[in-house]
A and B are shown apart, each in its own frame.
Chain A
Amino acid sequence: MINWTTWSYLALAKWISLLTFTAVAIWAALRPKSFVYHESPNQKRWRDLRIWSVLLLAVQIAIYLAL
């Protein structure tokens, strides 16, 4: 029987976290260009909110892999 309270299952928690970050990053990256730039004064690369989202989640993935 699986013992969910042991330390060995903490790896599972970490993997679920990483999967969550990855899934949200993929979802954000797939938002349409017209949506992320809507009402933006211009379409410069730094205003692309998909890039912001993916970078933010990449930092989270790095933190959770490192700790």
Chain B
Amino acid sequence: MQQINIHGIDLVIVIAYMAAIPAFGFYFKRFVKDEQDYFLAGRMLPWWIISLSIIGTNIGATDYVGAAGGAYRFGITQAHYEWIGAIPAIILSALLFIPYYWKAGIYTVPEFLGRRYNQLIRVVQTILWGAFMVFLLGQFFWASGLMLEEYIGIPLTVEILGLPVYIGIVLTALIIGLYTISGGLAAVAMTDVIQVLVMFIGGIMLSVLGLWALGGWSGLVNTLSASHPDHLRLFLPADHPVYPWPGVIFGLAFVASPAWWCCNQAIIQRTLGARSEWDAKAGMLFSAIPKTLIPVITILPGLIALALNPNLVGPEMDKAYPWLIKTLLPTGLAGLVFASFIAALISSVDSVVNSAATLWTRDLYQALIVKKASSRHYLLVGRIMTASFIVIAIFIAPVMTRFPGLFVAGQAVLSIFQGPTFAITLLGIYWRRANRIGATCGLFGGVAIAVYLFAKMEISYFYYSWWSFVAGLLITLVVSALTRPESTEKLEGLVYGLVMSDAEIQKRLGDRAESGGEE
């Protein structure tokens, strides 16, 4: 990043913001009495908090820089992630998946798969998602250290007793840890609301100033039409190495995006904390509105930077966003935009930490190690897990920069298992004939196909998602059809066509959960 010096009032804004967020989040500690309060916010979240928390979780600080850099490099096609690569999937999640998760009374998506199929699938899913989240946290923490160094001059490392201490990373961890460990999902969701508002205020301000400098929207379009006409095309040719249009539609829109919005614990957990099924569905749906507007604060600045300065090349293109801040923002406003960066970062990190702790507490510790203990015991374990994930992320962050392949591997794991996960979840809800043997074969078979493609073919990773989904779907269909169906009793309340009244469902599923989710 380029050095951006902020002074005076900017620094005051940033420091005040960094102090206010944990203080606000810590307030919600008083409402946490048991594990349901901690992991699901006592099931009291209204739809509008859920929607803003989902967006806060979805958009990280690295997305600002990465998406703006992508728009600078490839053009408006980068916005597919926010439009066709999100909106249809959000609607499917709200109206197809969430009602079943909600009725099942679960805490996590792997828990649902465990009840629907078997414990093996639950544990495998938990380990894969948990590992991916640790990689993600490492990357977020490292980004926070760099940002604090570049923008407000906090050194990345200082030596204490001969050992390097990553000041910015530890500071971020302290801010997030203070309220995430104590307040759980309620603190995370409520702080996310504030942070999303700050994100949009800062981002829109930058875009407005950029358009102003270019003479308005028409100035931007005229400039790019003359110099980079392909950057205004929504789709790129099928032989494009990064965004081939068949990959965008079949891989991103039809598989990767529904998998992310329907099966990702960090996204779904907010809806499971809703005060009613309607709030859960409405919260997810309403998040589509800010999601549609995200390109205004990420893609548009990238295009504005290109129109103002087309001379960034190679890795420099990823500095389009910082370049715009440095060039456009007058003193007094940089602090607000930097606060929006911090907001984006913190709102993603706190959610991932909370969800990772929920997964490992519910789906590993409670499912395999201590099956029957008091609610307060699991609350304590959840807090210890949260603190552990934060500490692990502090240590893994610097390591990841020395081994950049680690994060690439994490991303590859995600693209490899997302397709089959979506296939077995979809069939699990909507095809009662799908059984544990079919789903297990479908999950591992789909992952095997994706690994084969990953190892043998240099293609856009959108295609890994598509073909691993197709393979997972077909294998589950065929193997399930050839093996014994599950009993009707096991499927009640979990599968389309076998939904009962809520009280009945909760009682039966509760009884089943107490016996470990197995028949």
Contact = CB atoms under 8 A, between A and B. Distances in A.
Interface string B271-290: 00000111101100110110
A21 B87 CA distance: 9
Interface in B260-313: 276-279, 281-282, 285-286, 288-289, 292
B249 A57 contact: no
A39 B238 contact: no
Interface core residue of B99, B238, B249, B253 (most chain A CB under 10 Å): B238
A33 interface: no
Given A10-B233, A39-B277, A49 B95 contact: yes
Given A13-B235, A64-B234, A67-B234, A20 B277 contact: no
Given A7-B237, A28-B95, A49-B94, A20 B278 contact: no
A24 B94 contact: no
Contact of B238 (A9, A21, A49): A9
Nearest to B89: A24
B514 to A, nearest CB: 25
A53 B277 CA distance: 16
By secondary structure, the A interface counts as: helix
A15 to B, nearest CB: 11
Nearest to B286: A52
Contact of A24 (B88, B232, B238, B277): B88
A53 to B, nearest CB: 5
Interface core residue of B88, B99, B237 (most chain A CB under 10 Å): B88
Nearest to B92: A24
Given A13-B249, A37-B278, A40-B276, A64 B95 contact: no
Given A20-B84, A60-B292, A53 B91 contact: yes
Nearest to B295: A63
A33 B349 CA distance: 38
B245 interface: yes
A64 B295 CA distance: 14
B511 interface: no
Contacts of B239: 4-5
Given A20-B84, A24-B88, A49-B285, A67 B232 contact: yes
B76 A67 contact: yes
B282 A60 contact: no
A55 to B, nearest CB: 9
Interface residues of B, number: 35
B407 interface: no
A39 B76 CA distance: 40
Contacts of A64: 83-84, 234
Given A10-B233, A53-B285, A67-B234, A16 B249 contact: yes
B233 A49 contact: no
Contact of B83 (A13, A28, A37, A63): A63
A41 B76 CA distance: 41
Interface in B109-165: none
Contacts of B292: 56, 59-60, 63
B277 A57 contact: no
A52 to B, nearest CB: 5
A60 B87 contact: yes
Nearest to B91: A53
Nearest to A59: B292
A21 B233 contact: no
Nearest to A53: B91
A17 B237 contact: no
B510 interface: no
B246 interface: yes
A28 B281 CA distance: 12
A63 B234 CA distance: 10
Contacts of A52: 282, 285-286
Contacts of A10: 233-237, 245
Contacts of B84: 17, 20-21, 60, 64
Contact of A56 (B87, B235, B237): B87
A47 B282 contact: yes
Contacts of A40: 276, 278
Contacts of B94: 49, 53
B249 A56 contact: no
Interface string B222-255: 0000000000111111110000011011000100
A38 interface: yes
Interface of A: 4-7, 9-10, 13-14, 16-17, 20-21, 24, 28, 31, 35-41, 47, 49, 52-53, 56-57, 59-60, 63-64, 67
Q: Which 9 pairs across A and B sit closest by C-beta, in order of nearness?
A: A39-B276, A13-B245, A40-B278, A5-B239, A13-B235, A4-B238, A39-B277, A39-B278, A10-B235
21 contacts: A4-B239, A9-B245, A10-B233, A10-B236, A10-B245, A20-B84, A20-B249, A20-B253, A28-B91, A28-B95, A37-B278, A38-B277, A39-B277, A40-B276, A41-B278, A53-B91, A53-B94, A56-B87, A56-B285, A56-B289, A60-B84
Given A9-B237, A10-B245, 17 more contacts: A4-B246, A5-B237, A6-B237, A7-B233, A16-B249, A17-B249, A17-B253, A24-B92, A35-B95, A39-B276, A53-B91, A53-B95, A53-B285, A56-B289, A60-B83, A60-B88, A64-B234
